[in-house]
Amino acid sequence: MIDDVIAKDSPEVVAEDVARAMWPRDHASQLLGLRILTIRPGYSRLLMTVRPDMVNGHHICHGGLIFTLADSAFAYACNSYNKNTVASACHIDFLAPAKEGDILEAEAVEQSLSGRTGVYDVTIRTRNGKVVALFRGKSYRINGEVIAGLQHADEPR
């Protein structure tokens, strides 16, 4: 029985619970059809299929949508500790085009976490391993917890 309590509060379970709490309100990621593949403390992998309505005038995936995929992966990774965390800065380098029909995977990896700040690198790849973009996000922890804050948002005013 004690093992069940420990497992329930493990960092891995907390990270998954945070993702489950955030997802219903993450309308931007839902609109793009993103899928969460993996969530762990300080880590996430998300998937996006490039649809016809996501390509620009060059018939390649719009860079803003690739950025959004990376930013969403960053958000799930840096909030995975159940501490409200926001971006303080982000940068992206586009290395190769993504085309309609490509399945893009964003892998966010925590590089540093100290006090209220963190640094996360996100690599966007096609399913065949071609690197499309590299994103670096800097995070800042604000007051509150993700799960508790979302529960309070549902309360009547």
At 1, is the pLDDT very low, low, confident or very high (cuts 50, 70, 90)? very low
- Distance from the first to the final alpha carbon of the chain: 38
Q: Is 11 helix (H, G, I), strand (E, B) or coil?
A: helix
- pLDDT tens figures, 135-149: 999 999 999 999 986
CA–CA gap between residue 82 and residue 120 (Å, rounded): 16
The stretch 119-131 carries a mean pLDDT of 97
Q: Domains of the chain: which residue ranges?
A: 11-153
* Bridge partners of residue 105, in order along the sequence: 47, 125
Hey, which CATH number is domain 11-153, 3.30.70.890, 3.90.870.10, 3.10.129.10, 3.30.750.24?
A: 3.10.129.10
Q: Between 156 and 73, where is the model more confident?
A: 73
Number of residues that this document lists for the chain: 157
The stretch 82-110 carries a mean pLDDT of 98
The stretch 49-66 carries a mean pLDDT of 98
pLDDT at 157: 44
pLDDT at 90: 98
At 68, is the pLDDT very low, low, confident or very high (cuts 50, 70, 90)? very high
Q: Is 141 helix (H, G, I), strand (E, B) or coil?
A: strand
Task: Tell me: pLDDT of 60 over 60.
Answer: yes
pLDDT at 151: 54
